[in-house]
């Protein structure tokens, strides 16, 4: 197997996991639209099911198209392995599933996507799990929130919706001292702008729906494992360090080493939770990733120009873009996201909620949708949509106050985006 770590990012976004099809010579990875795969023999089947051999069994578990995408994303993130699944929300559950148990908790940032806040504060209670939310700018608060039942720390590299940048090195230091994994949602930054594993993350999750695919065509998610965490160091993670009763007593960390978490995600997570990515969706995402670096450069360039213009507009109270010198997170850009602060931020309007509604109604180029990361520019009012399930205090803590809109700046000509915003603001 080629050592992708010796290749550049752009080379890997085109070639990692995508050798020509051995049967036909097809240069693009085919869509293997097959539920199941024929075994060579009964012995071959038995070895696949016992993890003695790696191969394809059933598309809920493994599929060649999805496998190519997993290899590519793992290469871009610098991880040991990856597991693709049906959505970003599925990826978050998949990441927590081997770590948690009844009565266990995760310490999470207050600055998260609204759906994640709801998933962590409400839905995971049905598994007997819980979450503690703290301001991740206060590392002492993170440390104080950790107790004997804490099994993970969770944050976003560039937080949705405000574009705040997390000091991943400082948070990873807290996680290391506590002996628990740090999970980083890298959706908004992408591996082109930020590499959380280099900053100490154990696991990286993505909604591949967003920038990785880049065209708003399919949903998907992925969990990337750094392969660096010692699951055997304590008895906190029995699914990985002890005989797994759900897989005939296999000790995943002992048998599979750096690939333990990845194989657990397939053999247990996908098998039993069934959060499978379909091969056609994987194909679209593979095609999207081929232009990731090109798109992200344009997103960043446009975001800087548009955010700077908005900051000086008479109708605007504030802009949260970390790429602006006025941002309190500007100093973190060079350290955490040296290629730029992304294309997502919020705009606070002096006219409050009513002005936000009028702005959205009068825009022509910006699409009003519940998504981000498209090549096209997007806008939404988080307080009444993506973060609407939260209390007013929680909305403010998450960066989704009623007087702001979230913009996802696309790759159009920046002059046209500014003209559209100007006419809508003046309306």
Residue 243, pLDDT score: 97
The verdict on 207 and 327 lying in the same domain is no
Mean pLDDT of the 283-292 span: 98
Does residue 242 form part of some domain? yes
The verdict on 341 and 256 lying in the same domain is no
Residue 355, pLDDT score: 93
The verdict on 313 and 256 lying in the same domain is no
The verdict on 80 and 215 lying in the same domain is yes
CA distance 398 to 239: 32
- Residues present in the chain in total: 427
Helix (H) or strand (E) holding 201: none
Does residue 114 form part of some domain? no
User: pLDDT over 70 for what percent of the chain?
Assistant: 100
Give yes or no for a contact between 427 and 362, defined as CB atoms under 8 angstroms apart: yes
Give per-residue pLDDT as tens, 322-357: 999 999 999 999 999 999 999 999 999 999 999 999
How far is the CA of 284 from the CAs of 23, 30, 254, 291, 379, in angstroms? 21, 11, 36, 12, 23
Q: Beta strand 344-349 with 316-319: parallel, antiparallel or unpaired? A: antiparallel
CA distance 224 to 296: 20
Give yes or no for a contact between 254 and 230, defined as CB atoms under 8 angstroms apart: no
Does residue 209 form part of some domain? yes
Give yes or no for a contact between 116 and 69, defined as CB atoms under 8 angstroms apart: no
CA distance 225 to 403: 38
Does residue 113 form part of some domain? no
Tokens of 287: 């095609």
Mean pLDDT of the 395-414 span: 91
| Number of domains forming the structure of the chain | 2
Does residue 216 form part of some domain? yes
The verdict on 399 and 256 lying in the same domain is no
What confidence category does residue 5 fall into, taking pLDDT thresholds of 50, 70 and 90?
confident
53 half-sphere exposure, CB direction, 13 A CA radius = 12
Residue 221, pLDDT score: 98
The verdict on 217 and 332 lying in the same domain is no
Q: Is the pLDDT of residue 110 over 60?
A: yes
Closest C-alpha among 133, 135, 131, 137 to residue 149: 131
* 387 or 357: which leads in pLDDT: 357
Closest C-alpha among 311, 291, 312, 259 to residue 322: 311
CA distance 402 to 396: 8
The verdict on 261 and 405 lying in the same domain is no
Q: Is the pLDDT of residue 377 over 80?
A: yes
The verdict on 255 and 316 lying in the same domain is no
Does residue 125 form part of some domain? no
Q: CATH code at 233?
A: 3.40.640.10
Residue 394, pLDDT score: 85
The verdict on 371 and 310 lying in the same domain is yes
Residue 399, pLDDT score: 84
How far is the CA of 143 from the CAs of 105, 167, 407, in angstroms? 14, 15, 33
Count Cβ atoms below 10 Å from residue 55 Cβ, excluding itself. Answer: 14
The verdict on 256 and 339 lying in the same domain is no
Instruction: Choose the final residue of a domain: 255, 288, 321.
Output: 288
Q: Which residues contact 26 (CB under 8 A, 6 or more apart)?
A: 20
Give per-residue pLDDT as tens, 17-71: 988 888 888 999 999 999 999 999 999 999 999 999 999 999 999 999 999 999 9
Q: Which residues contact 28 (CB under 8 A, 6 or more apart)?
A: 18, 287
Q: What is the mean pLDDT of the chain?
A: 96
The verdict on 417 and 390 lying in the same domain is yes
Residue 387, pLDDT score: 83
Does residue 226 form part of some domain? yes
Instruction: Provide the 3-class DSSP secondary structure of residue 83.
Output: strand
Mean pLDDT of the 160-185 span: 97
Instruction: Choose the final residue of a domain: 271, 288, 305.
Output: 288
Classify burial at 338, counting beta carbons within 10 Å of its beta carbon; exposed 0-12, middle 13-18, buried 19 or more: exposed
Does residue 321 form part of some domain? yes
Count Cβ atoms below 10 Å from residue 335 Cβ, excluding itself. Answer: 12
The predicted model scores a pTM of 0.95
Instruction: Choose the final residue of a domain: 225, 253, 288.
Output: 288
What confidence category does residue 1 fall into, taking pLDDT thresholds of 50, 70 and 90?
low
The verdict on 284 and 322 lying in the same domain is no
Q: CATH code at 404?
A: 3.90.1150.10
**Residue 33 belongs to domain spanning:** 7-99+181-288
Mean pLDDT of the 95-100 span: 98
Bridge partners, 109 (sequence order): 134
Q: How far is CA 178 from the centre of its chain?
A: 23
Mean pLDDT of the 183-190 span: 98
CA distance 279 to 59: 8
Q: Is the pLDDT of residue 280 over 90?
A: yes
């Amino acid at each position: 197997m080629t050592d992708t770590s010796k290749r550049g990012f752009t080379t890997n976004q085109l070639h990692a996991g995508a050798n020509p099809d051995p049967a036909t010579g097809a240069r693009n990875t085919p869509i293997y639209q097959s539920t199941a795969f024929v075994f060579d023999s009964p012995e071959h089947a038995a070895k696949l099911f016992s993890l003695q051999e790696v191969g394809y069994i059933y598309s809920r578990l493994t599929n060649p198209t999805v496998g190519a995408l997993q290899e590519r994303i793992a290469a871009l993130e610098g991880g040991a392995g990856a597991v693709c699944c049906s959505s970003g929300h599925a990826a978050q559950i998949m990441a927590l599933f081997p770590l948690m148990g009844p009565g266990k908790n995760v310490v999470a940032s207050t600055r998260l996507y609204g759906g994640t806040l709801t998933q962590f504060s409400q839905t995971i209670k049905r598994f007997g799990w819980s979450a503690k939310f703290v301001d991740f700018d206060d590392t002492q608060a993170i440390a104080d929130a950790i107790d004997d039942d804490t099994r993970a720390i969770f944050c976003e590299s560039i937080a949705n919706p405000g574009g705040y940048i997390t000091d991943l090195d400082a948070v990873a230091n807290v996680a290391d001292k506590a002996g628990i994994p740090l999970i980083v949602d890298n959706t908004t930054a992408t591996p082109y702008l930020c590499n959380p594993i280099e900053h100490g993350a154990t696991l990286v999750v993505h909604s591949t729906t967003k920038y990785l695919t880049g065209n708003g065509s399919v949903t998907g998610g992925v969990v990337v494992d750094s392969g660096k965490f010692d699951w055997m160091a304590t008895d906190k993670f029995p699914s990985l360090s002890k005989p797994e009763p759900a897989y005939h007593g296999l000790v995943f960390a002992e048998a599979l080493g750096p690939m333990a978490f990845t194989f657990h995600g397939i053999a247990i997570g996908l098998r039993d939770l069934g959060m499978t990515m379909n091969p056609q969706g994987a194909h679209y995402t593979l095609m999207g990733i081929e232009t990731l670096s090109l798109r992200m450069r344009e997103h960043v360039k446009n975001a800087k120009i548009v955010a700077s213009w908005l900051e000086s507009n008479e109708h605007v109270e504030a802009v949260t873009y970390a790429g602006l010198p006025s941002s309190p997170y500007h100093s973190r850009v060079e350290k955490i996201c040296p290629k730029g602060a992304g294309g997502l931020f919020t705009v606070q309007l002096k006219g409050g909620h009513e002005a936000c509604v009028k702005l959205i109604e009068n825009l022509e180029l910006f699409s009003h949708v519940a998504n981000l990361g498209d090549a096209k520019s997007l806008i939404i009012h988080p307080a009444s949509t993506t973060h609407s399930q939260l209390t007013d205090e929680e909305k403010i803590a998450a960066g989704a106050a009623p007087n702001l809109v979230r913009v996802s700046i696309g790759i159009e000509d920046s002059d046209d985006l500014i003209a559209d915003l100007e006419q809508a603001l003046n309306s």
